[in-house]
């Protein structure tokens, strides 16, 4: 770097808080500064007062093209001091003891978190996922019906028919909240026998014969919308 051919040049460094505090204190701070132009690195080594060891700060330095140094006197007049040739950010280097402790903690964490039993190793199949036998999906999130379904499956209990008018109202309410239903899903949702639900659903709904919701039911009032969806699906297939 041609700017470094001179005997003196300016380096701008961003200091960590502890080093900045040390430099601004009243104590006479002495240390060694090492600059390696070839490796673009700078090191400051400061002896610690409490023991015989030293604290080391290092920085990667880069060439500065558009930075200048000014000072301002008590009359608020700025004076040009020179061009900043290099700049960098000092960071404290970890001691050997701290590095050893950190590495041991990482190894300990890995060892404690990744524990696979021999039986688990034999059954590992990352491409296969299966829900628990009693887990099922309930579209409207009816927790009470989910619990009843689990109990029925566990103890072999049968569903009992409810009052017809009340069940019919619940069927219509379910179709208001969700447009398409299968007989099994709505029976699970309402906790009623499949055959009973099939009888009532056929009174107020029609089976969809085409499209993505084929073989499911929707309210009779949605019949025109189903035909429109079917037409859109057919047009998309032609394209």
Across the range 86-112, mean pLDDT stands at: 68
Tell me the pLDDT tens digit for each residue of 169-205. Answer: 999 999 988 889 999 889 888 888 889 999 999 999 9
Instruction: Please count the CA atoms within 13 angstroms of the CA of 169 that sit on its side-chain side.
Output: 4
In the chain, residues under CATH classification 1.10.10.10 are: 156-238
Q: Give the angle 17-19-21 at the CA atoms, nearest 5°.
A: 70
Given a cut of 50, whether residue 152 has pLDDT beyond it is yes
Kindly state the percentage of the chain with pLDDT values over 90: 10
Q: Give the angle 122-123-129 at the CA atoms, nearest 5°.
A: 160
The CATH number that domain 156-238 falls under is: 1.10.10.10
């Amino acid at each position: 770097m041609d700017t470094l051919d001179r005997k003196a040049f300016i380096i701008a460094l961003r200091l960590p808080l502890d080093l900045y505090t040390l430099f601004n204190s009243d104590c006479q701070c002495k240390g060694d500064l090492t600059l390696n132009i070839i490796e673009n690195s700078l090191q400051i080594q400061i002896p610690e007062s409490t023991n015989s060891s030293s604290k080391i700060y290092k920085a990667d330095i880069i060439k500065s093209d558009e930075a200048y140094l000014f000072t301002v006197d008590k009359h608020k007049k700025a004076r040009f001091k020179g061009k900043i040739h290099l700049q960098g950010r000092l960071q404290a280097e970890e001691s050997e003891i701290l590095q050893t402790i950190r590495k041991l903690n990482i190894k300990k964490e890995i060892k404690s978190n990744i524990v696979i039993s021999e039986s688990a190793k034999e059954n590992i199949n990352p491409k296969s996922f299966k829900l628990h036998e009693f887990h099922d999906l309930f579209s409207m999130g009816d927790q009470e019906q989910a619990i009843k379904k689990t109990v029925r499956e566990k103890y072999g209990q049968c569903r009992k028919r409810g009052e017809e008018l009340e069940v019919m109202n619940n069927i219509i309410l379910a179709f208001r909240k969700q447009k398409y239903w299968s007989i099994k899903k709505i029976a699970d949702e309402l906790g009623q026998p499949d055959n009973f639900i099939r009888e009532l659903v056929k009174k107020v709904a029609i089976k969809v014969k085409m499209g993505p919701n084929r073989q499911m039911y929707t309210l009779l009032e949605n019949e025109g919308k189903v035909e429109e969806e079917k037409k859109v699906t057919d047009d998309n297939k032609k394209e």
